[in-house]
Structure 1
C-alpha cells in the first residue's frame, strides 16, 4: 500500500499546470475513498486474535459537521498510558494496519487509532483544516472517556503533521515523529530533481504551509521527542528527520535512524522497538 502511495505521490497527486509550475492540491494529494467501508467482523476478530490480552473496543465519533469517524480503542489492562496513532496517507485501519498495531502493542500501552475522514471506515472529504479539527475532537474524547495518565502522540508520515499540530496546543507527555518531513516546502524541494529546480515554481494551498513540524518543535513543543527515520527512505528523505531533530528545543529528544529501512518497516527492526520502549519507560 505505501509503495503504491510512494509511486503515485508525485505523478498522480502533484499536477503539472504549465511547463514551469507545479500545483499541489488537497483534493489530489490527500488520499481518499469514494465511500466509507464498515469494519468487517473478520478483521475485528483478527485484531483480537493478534492481541488476545487486550480489549478491542470500536469507537464511533460524530464530527462537528456530522461526519461519522470510526476506529478502535485497544485497551491494555495493565496500562494507563495511551498511544494515539495517526497513520500515513492512504493507510486504512482495515486491511493495512493489523501489523502496525500488533507491533505497537509491544510497547505495552493502550492504543487509540481512527480512520481519518474520507478513508476506510470514516465518512467525509479530507481537507487539512477538518483533519486537524477531527484530531482535536478525538483527543478530547480520549480525555473524557478514558482519562489516561499519560498521552503519547505518534504520527507516521502525513500523520506526523497532525500529531505535531496537536502537540502545539495540547498538554501531552511525548511526541513521536515517524517517517516525517519538516514542512511541505522542504519536502517538495527534496523530491524535485536538481536539474528541474531552476525551471519550476510550486503552488500549494496555504493550509499546507501552516502545518509545519519544524516550526512546532522549534517554537512550541518542548516536551519529550522521539524522531524515527529510515536510512534509505526515498519518500521522506532522512535529512528531513535530522533537520527536525536539530531544530527541536526539547531537553529530552532522541533520533533513531533505522539502518537499511525505507519509508516502511522501520518499526519491524527489533533494536528500534527496544529504543522506543526505553523512551516510553523514561517518561
Structure 2
C-alpha cells in the first residue's frame, strides 16, 4: 500500500533527523490516480480517445488507444516501459504529445493490461514480431508522418523495430546501450558488490547499438539528467556510437526516468526535431 511506504519513509526521516513530530493528514489516505486516460477529457478536450485492437495470427489481441484530432501535425506510435499500463499511466504519457499537436497510438504489451493472449510460450523475439505487426498496421492506416517513440524498455523494442523498417523518425527516451546495462542499473550502487546478475542469452543479446547500426533515419535521444534507472552516461554512450547523419541528443535538466517529456525543454526539442522532418 502506497501510504504504508510513505509513512515508513517518514518514520526513517524523523528517526535519523532527530525530529519529534510526524504530521499525517487524511488526504494522504485518499488515493488519487494522476495518470488515467480520462484526465485527457479536461486537459486535452480537443482530442478524441478511441479504443483500438489488433489480432495477431496466434490469437493474441493487442488492445490500445488512438488519441487524435483532425488537425494534428504528426502521429506518434508509443512503446511504453516495462510494467506500464495504459489505464494507469496513459493520460500521463499522452499529455505532452497533445501539447505537441500530435496524435498518439499505443498498445498494452502482450497479455498485459488490456491485451489478451493464449497461454503459450512467449519471449522477446515474439514481442518484437508483435511490435512489427503493430507498426505495419499503424503505418498502413495513418496519414502523414509516423514517429516511433520508445521509453525505457520500450526504447529497445523501438530500436529493434528501426532495424526492420525505414521509419519516418525514431525517438528514444530514457534509453541506453544494452539490456545488460539496463538490468545492472536497477541495482543500487551500494548493493552491487553483493549482487551477482545472471542474464539469459535472449536478453543479453539485446543491444541498441547493434539494432541501430544500419539505421539512417532521423533520431532523437532524450534522457533525464537525474535518471538513475537509465543514467545519462549510458544514453550518451549509445548516441556517440551511432553514425547517423540526422541525430540529436537532449539531456533534460531536473528530470528523472519518468518525467522528461513533462519538461518545457523536452517539448521544445521535440518540436524542433519533428519540425526539421518537413
User: What band does the TM-score fall into relative to the shorter chain?
Assistant: 0.7 to 0.9
Q: Say whether residues 1:162 and 2:157 are aligned partners.
A: yes
Describe the shift of the 1:139–1:243 C-alpha distance in structure 2 as closer, same or farther (beyond 3 A).
Answer: same
The alignment yields a C-alpha RMSD, in angstroms, of 2.3
Shift of 1:103: 1.3
SS in 1 for 2:216: coil
Cα distance between partner residues in 1 of 2:76 and 2:129: 19
- The one of 95, 98, 108 equivalent to 1:102 is 95
- The one of 116, 120, 123 equivalent to 1:127 is 123
> TM-score normalized by structure 1?
0.77
Question: Which residues of 2 match residues 54-93 of structure 1 at below 5 A?
Answer: 54-79=47-72, 81-93=74-86
Which deviates further from its counterpart, 81-90 or 181-190?
181-190
> Which structure has the bigger radius of gyration?
2
Cα distance between partner residues in 1 of 2:267 and 2:127: 28
Describe the shift of the 1:248–1:130 C-alpha distance in structure 2 as closer, same or farther (beyond 3 A).
Answer: same
Structure 1 ranges of 4+ moved more than 3 A: 43-50, 188-202
Contact 1:182 1:213 in 2 (8 A): yes
Contact 1:150 1:172 in 2 (8 A): no
Cα distance between partner residues in 2 of 1:261 and 1:145: 34
Shift of 1:205: 2.4
Shift of 1:178: 0.3
Contact 1:154 1:163 in 2 (8 A): yes
Q: Deviations over 1:165-189 (max 9, x none)?
A: 1111101111111001211223345
> TM-score normalized by structure 2?
0.78
Instruction: Show structure 1 runs of 5+ residues with no match.
Output: 1-42
Shift of 1:142: 1.1
Contact 2:38 2:91 in 1 (8 A): no
Q: Deviations over 1:55-114 (max 9, x none)?
A: 322111112210121001122311362211000111101021202101112222221111
Contact 2:185 2:228 in 1 (8 A): no
- The one of 112, 134, 140 equivalent to 2:136 is 140
Cα distance between partner residues in 1 of 2:43 and 2:192: 47
Question: Which residues of 2 match residues 1-283 of structure 1 at below 5 A?
Answer: 45-79=38-72, 81-124=74-117, 127-146=123-142, 148-191=143-186, 202-217=197-212, 219-283=213-277
Describe the shift of the 1:183–1:271 C-alpha distance in structure 2 as closer, same or farther (beyond 3 A).
Answer: same
Partner of 1:13: none
Contact 1:181 1:213 in 2 (8 A): yes
Shift of 1:152: 0.8
SS in 1 for 2:177: coil
Contact 1:185 1:209 in 2 (8 A): yes
